[in-house]
Chain A
């Protein structure tokens, strides 16, 4: 290395590190501090209350309901997104009827990739407003008109406490599939074609190829996506705040932890309590991520 090169590198690293420390690390540490106080958020005076906030959380029925809803999203969303994304990526890459030798995707796969990725370029409030209009509960709403056209009656959608959470789940899935489709697609294209052709020669159908060849080779990517989607499910806020009734859904059916944090911190003047919720969410997310990474660990396959 040239003389003085480390100082050169340090100079460039210093600024981003400082920004990161001030805007990411510092608030984290402050949140831990405020979670043990009764800070209202609008006053410089507050007292240290130890773990009182955490004790109150255990008895807060609204918070526990929010945790329950988050867990539902946590279980369902990554599963659905990954399954759909894998399936579509497989179709676009491997499942085409090749006229010549080799494997290719279905016809027009470039176009499909574009269409599936489209929701990613929309911002979350825009998506929330669009779907709130589509899922309009009056009989003349978009979704209800379609349902009535094919013979089913109209549904309450976001106004029905039994359906509202699943509507939120659906919109989350709809918004995420495109990104993971492109991700899996890229991962799949890096699999050498001869592996697929070898499988074809050995008599593997599409289903067998998918489960015996594609999935094991993609396992790294799937694992990372799973953890990332789990964190997304635990963090969901903007969609719920804009799209649901209340917000928080009819009868608290779409209440989520982030929404509780926002309401407690800003509307009720309980910033200390909200920080405690944030700390709980932090540890919960770490725990889930650790469990998932452990549970889905497999040997790395080199090819």
Chain B
């Protein structure tokens, strides 16, 4: 049998390849398009005082929770409360860590879940979602009646309203309170007769004493300059007042060159130059540096109220994780007992979710005293619901953090420039890294930060926001 000449092997293979690519590529281009189509959401039902958002009794609820430091047991409890109210609704629960990987395709194809706890390293870019109208307006939630009576807005710590505000509309519910400061081991300090210093001069004297005892006065998470940035800004804001940070958040010119910022930068340089920083801390990540702190190689470390939980497996049994406010520099405007308090664990309801009223009702249940107390009980972290969690037995970290929040009151502050301007974040963190390592002067540091802020202000791709 002979093969016809024109149908040679080479020609055949060429045609086969072209045909496959054309067929598969063309057909799949539509199906495999990364940005997909749209979805539909179910209509709401009737509203009542018990059901202010008009949740349909049998509409299913899709909840996705970040299963990180706080776990997801609290969410299962909240879902049981929802189920008690809407028995016919089927609740789908997912406790995952790679939020963005799993939810980005769902956002692109227009069928996102109803409630998302957007946290962790793989979170969705919040400001981007807010700017593209993909988050449901939660202002009705804040104006609604709480399960326990009274307007929800009035039962919450004001930082919840401030942090969720994106251009006048509240688009995010930040649920857990995070308290920042310098953390130390109270057991060790009581043993040696030390107390956290209230002024900068006292702090330097205390550091000298600690150094004399063979312990490094301070360590920080060098690989992630976020932490040392936090306490340095804390000192700057306590010195110059809240307008220091509102100017920075609003990307005002010369905001980073404020004298309080420069003073705080010089204070950090002083710690480094006097040898009060744990040697080599610049290259340690958060677990390594915090572990050395647990081992007693360093006295203070900057961090937040999740620290105790994070180091649970490593800390010795008698280690009493306690928070201290940062010391006051000369001429400080805010009192010693004040600190940065932010609201973390961002809960959002996507605008294109199938059960938006259900999502809002779920959040309302979370904001009840019962829901909030359970969260604090399971995670040892306070929520934005004031008064929830009272009467619970708290760990040293949780107790000292709550006391500091109460003592600070209106003097507690927060910043948003990392959430609002994510491309600026690595540049600012780089500048802080160089400052903490003592490789730049305070002026160079302020100039570098200001340059990053100016670039962000001029960047057409970034939306500018302001706050007062």
- Residues of A at the B interface (CB closer than 8 Å) are 1-3, 6, 10, 13-14, 17-18, 21-22, 25-27, 29-30, 34, 38-46, 56, 62, 132, 135-139, 141, 144, 154, 156-159, 161, 245-246, 248, 250-252, 263-264, 266-271, 273
The answer to whether B100 has its CB under 8 Å from any CB of chain A is yes
CB-nearest residue of chain B relative to A144? B280
Query: What is the CA–CA distance of A26 and B22 in the complex, to the nearest angstrom?
Result: 10
Query: What is the CA–CA distance of A248 and B25 in the complex, to the nearest angstrom?
Result: 36
Quote the shortest CB–CB distance from A264 to chain B (angstroms): 8
* Residue contact A18 to B132, C-beta cutoff 8 Å: no
* Residue contact B16 to A42, C-beta cutoff 8 Å: no
Quote the shortest CB–CB distance from B281 to chain A (angstroms): 7
* Residue contact B29 to A26, C-beta cutoff 8 Å: yes
* Residue contact A17 to B21, C-beta cutoff 8 Å: yes
Among residues 27 to 50 in chain B, which have CB atoms less than 8 Å away from a CB atom of chain A? Answer: 28-29, 32-38
* Residue contact A267 to B20, C-beta cutoff 8 Å: no
The answer to whether B325 has its CB under 8 Å from any CB of chain A is no
Query: What is the CA–CA distance of A269 and B127 in the complex, to the nearest angstrom?
Result: 9
A250: B residues at CB distance < 8 A:
282, 430, 433-434, 437
Among the listed stretches B104-112, B241-249, B384-392, which one makes contact with chain A, having 4 or more residues with CB under 8 Å of it?
B104-112
B253: A residues at CB distance < 8 A:
none
Query: What is the CA–CA distance of A132 and B280 in the complex, to the nearest angstrom?
Result: 13
Interface size bucket, B side?
35 or more
Which of A13, A45, A56, A158 makes the CB contact (< 8 A) with B283?
A158
Query: What is the CA–CA distance of A266 and B109 in the complex, to the nearest angstrom?
Result: 17
* Residue contact A42 to B280, C-beta cutoff 8 Å: no
Query: What is the CA–CA distance of A27 and B35 in the complex, to the nearest angstrom?
Result: 12
* Residue contact A40 to B429, C-beta cutoff 8 Å: no
Across the A-B interface, give the 10 residue pairs with the lowest CB-CB distance, nearest first.
A138-B280, A269-B128, A159-B283, A137-B283, A269-B125, A17-B20, A21-B24, A245-B223, A159-B282, A18-B24
Q: B120-155: contact bitstring with A at CB < 8 Å (1 yes, 0 no)? A: 001011011100101000000000000000000000
CB-nearest residue of chain A relative to B288? A136
Which of B224, B278, B283, B288 makes the CB contact (< 8 A) with A156?
B283
Quote the shortest CB–CB distance from A275 to chain B (angstroms): 9
* Residue contact B108 to A43, C-beta cutoff 8 Å: yes
Which of A1, A22, A30, A42 makes the CB contact (< 8 A) with B134?
A42
CB-nearest residue of chain A relative to B129? A42
Contact A25/B21 with A42-B104, A42-B128 known, Cβ cut-off 8 Å: yes
Query: What is the CA–CA distance of A135 and B128 in the complex, to the nearest angstrom?
Result: 37
CB-nearest residue of chain A relative to B280? A138
Looking at A2, A135, A136, the one whose CB has the most chain B CB atoms below 10 A away is A136
* Residue contact B282 to A18, C-beta cutoff 8 Å: no
* Residue contact A268 to B423, C-beta cutoff 8 Å: yes
CB-nearest residue of chain B relative to A19? B24
* Residue contact A141 to B280, C-beta cutoff 8 Å: yes
Q: B408-449: contact bitstring with A at CB < 8 Å (1 yes, 0 no)? A: 000000000000001100110110011001010000000000
* Residue contact A21 to B21, C-beta cutoff 8 Å: yes
Query: What is the CA–CA distance of A119 and B307 in the complex, to the nearest angstrom?
Result: 35
A136: B residues at CB distance < 8 A:
280, 283-284, 288
The answer to whether B213 has its CB under 8 Å from any CB of chain A is no
A-B CB contact pairs (8 Å), 10 listed? A13-B20, A21-B20, A34-B35, A40-B125, A42-B134, A44-B108, A44-B109, A137-B284, A246-B426, A268-B125
* Residue contact A22 to B37, C-beta cutoff 8 Å: no
* Residue contact B20 to A138, C-beta cutoff 8 Å: no
- A to B contact number (C-beta, < 8 Å): 161
Contact A22/B32 with A159-B437, A250-B433 known, Cβ cut-off 8 Å: yes
Quote the shortest CB–CB distance from B141 to chain A (angstroms): 22
* Residue contact B125 to A42, C-beta cutoff 8 Å: yes
CB-nearest residue of chain A relative to B110? A44
Quote the shortest CB–CB distance from A284 to chain B (angstroms): 22
* Residue contact A138 to B279, C-beta cutoff 8 Å: yes
CB-nearest residue of chain B relative to A39? B35
Query: What is the CA–CA distance of A14 and B29 in the complex, to the nearest angstrom?
Result: 18
Query: What is the CA–CA distance of A247 and B423 in the complex, to the nearest angstrom?
Result: 14
Quote the shortest CB–CB distance from B309 to chain A (angstroms): 23
Which of A18, A158, A271 makes the CB contact (< 8 A) with B20?
A18
A42: B residues at CB distance < 8 A:
104, 107-108, 124-125, 128-129, 132, 134
Contact A43/B107 with A17-B17, A138-B283 known, Cβ cut-off 8 Å: yes
Which of A6, A159, A161 makes the CB contact (< 8 A) with B280?
A159
Query: What is the CA–CA distance of A43 and B426 in the complex, to the nearest angstrom?
Result: 24
A252: B residues at CB distance < 8 A:
430
* Residue contact B426 to A263, C-beta cutoff 8 Å: yes
Quote the shortest CB–CB distance from A182 to chain B (angstroms): 32
The answer to whether B222 has its CB under 8 Å from any CB of chain A is yes
A6: B residues at CB distance < 8 A:
7, 9, 12
* Residue contact B3 to A1, C-beta cutoff 8 Å: yes
Query: What is the CA–CA distance of A178 and B88 in the complex, to the nearest angstrom?
Result: 62
Which of B7, B34, B223, B422 makes the CB contact (< 8 A) with A30?
B34
Quote the shortest CB–CB distance from B91 to chain A (angstroms): 25
Which of A22, A40, A137, A266 makes the CB contact (< 8 A) with B28?
A22
A268: B residues at CB distance < 8 A:
125, 128, 422-423
A21: B residues at CB distance < 8 A:
20-21, 24-25, 28
A1: B residues at CB distance < 8 A:
3
* Residue contact B434 to A251, C-beta cutoff 8 Å: yes
Q: B348-371: contact bitstring with A at CB < 8 Å (1 yes, 0 no)? A: 000000000000000000000000
The answer to whether B6 has its CB under 8 Å from any CB of chain A is no
* Residue contact A245 to B283, C-beta cutoff 8 Å: yes
* Residue contact B282 to A156, C-beta cutoff 8 Å: yes
Quote the shortest CB–CB distance from A34 to chain B (angstroms): 7
B38: A residues at CB distance < 8 A:
44
A132: B residues at CB distance < 8 A:
285
Q: B277-296: contact bitstring with A at CB < 8 Å (1 yes, 0 no)? A: 01111111100100000000
Which of B17, B124, B282 makes the CB contact (< 8 A) with A137?
B282
* Residue contact A46 to B281, C-beta cutoff 8 Å: no
Contact A251/B433 with A29-B29, A40-B125, A269-B125 known, Cβ cut-off 8 Å: yes
Contact A245/B222 with A17-B16, A138-B281, A157-B283 known, Cβ cut-off 8 Å: yes
Quote the shortest CB–CB distance from A269 to chain B (angstroms): 3
* Residue contact A267 to B108, C-beta cutoff 8 Å: no
